[in-house]
Amino acid sequence: MNRKILHLDLDAFFCAVEELENASLRGKPFAVGGRPESRGVVSSCSYAARALGIHSAMPMVRALRLCPGLIIVPPRHRLYSEISEQVMQRLRRLTSLVEQISIDEAFLDISELSEPGEEIARQLQATIRDELGLPCSIGVATNKLVAKTATDFGKAHAEGGGPPNAITVVPAGEEAAFLQPLPVQALWGVGPKSAERLKSIGVLTIGNLLHIPEAELVVMFGKNGHDLVQRAQGIDDRPIITEHQVKSISQETTFARDVRDEKVLQSTIIQLSDNVGRQLRDSSLVSSTIKLKIRWPDFSTLSRQITLEHPTDKDSEIEFLALKLFYKVWKTGKAVRLIGVGAGGLQASVHQLSFWDELKQSSGH
């Protein structure tokens, strides 16, 4: 039996939430993100802003050059997370097989439901619109790869200046035919560098890829060459993964202006370390690898790490190790643009909190 997989993507999610909170933003060019004077970037932008060439990850300074009247809205991540969870709850009403892949994106396996995939997608889209006031686009296919590509295709080809609200269905057996005319960079696993290498041998579309001997692709890309051939045919048997293991926890900050002051850098590392420690404890995890990330004013970035014999979730230990790494790479007076502290090698914490530890955490101390 063919699987029925949905891929759901909330359209311009952060902006859609902000429009719910402030109706005066509707139809106007605005962006959610950081202030230009703080080197902020665009996290999300309205469709009116997109029409002017503004896009996610663009420096806010550049966005303002394109649209001097652009409204900048500071992000409210806690609110977005709360509303995202409300969306995910509605997905889980349909099926327990839900794989959330980001705050605004998820896969669902609805193979056990008797209704056609397109009908279920339309019902789900209407539910999210009517109950939460949010637009979304959905791809329907027999696997995750094609469902995701279908969503992207539908969003890209939607007409009008507002949210796409697209539903794109790829019937069973038509996966390869759907993919073949698409540009090769639309295929999962093909980034800009891979696309350039493929272009050098005449591969511009996914269909072109199928005319290249697999052995030649394996020489060019290693094992990924075989995977590219499978994906180009629309073959993907990956299951829905309902839980993802956290692999690392990190905190970083980009300074509004490059910082040379040792005390400021030191206090920033301590604050970031404390935040990482709190996240570890909140998640009942301990870390065996502490990492430091530094970006210099020329945008070059380095990272260093220390592996611990005994995993920790203690702020003081994380602070000590992060500062130790810092002083190995920083020279007095050298300017820093960004600094980050991370924890890897995560595993479940086995110690039990004492009554006093619990009391301290619950009181915020």
Residues designated as active site:
105
Containing H/E element for 165? Answer: none
Residue type, 186: A
C-alpha to C-alpha distance for 23 and 18, rounded to whole angstroms: 8
Tokens coding 33: 């993100």
Residue type, 36: P
Q: For residues 209-247, b (16+ Cβ closer than 10 Å) or e, as one string?
A: bbebeeeebbebbeeebebbbebbebebeeebeeeeeee
Containing H/E element for 129? Answer: helix 117-132
Helices marked H in 203-344 — which ranges? 206-209, 214-221, 223-232, 262-282, 315-329
Question: What's the DSSP call for residue 224?
Answer: H
Long-range contacts of 299-307 (CB under 8 A, 24+ apart): 299/337, 301/338, 302/329, 304/328, 304/329, 305/344, 307/345
- Report how far Cα 271 is from the mean position of its chain's Cα atoms: 25
Edge-to-edge strands, sheet with 5-10: 98-102, 105-109, 5-10, 136-141, 167-169
